[in-house]
Amino acid sequence: MEIAHTYRTYLDKLTVEIKKPEAEIITMALYVGLQQLWRETTLKRYLHNEISRSEAIETVGIDWVELAERQSEAMQEDLEWALKD
């Protein structure tokens, strides 16, 4: 299935489910997408020690910071296990 067709299908279904016009749904999608990109960028910067934990919490919230910490720790443990002799 081509990407444009998939997005069209999503948009059609959302207009029915949410009962809002396409333009409003597209605006909502842009807003949600920008929020997600900002959150991911902030968490990346935190995990790379470019910003403090408190700044990350202030920006995205403690729940997201703690989730990122747990995921990072799990990945490190998996990597250490995989690199064992």
Report which secondary-structure segment, H or E, holds 79.
helix 62-82
Predicted local distance difference test score (pLDDT) of residue 1: 61
Integer CA distances (angstroms), 60 to 52, 65, 75, in order: 12, 7, 21
Fill in the DSSP letter of residue 48. Answer: T
Range of the domain at 64: 3-82
Predicted local distance difference test score (pLDDT) of residue 69: 98
Count how many domains the chain has. 1
- pLDDT tens digits, 32-82: 999 999 999 999 999 999 999 999 999 999 999 999 999 999 999 999 999
Predicted structure pTM score: 0.79
Banded pLDDT at 2 (limits 50, 70, 90): confident
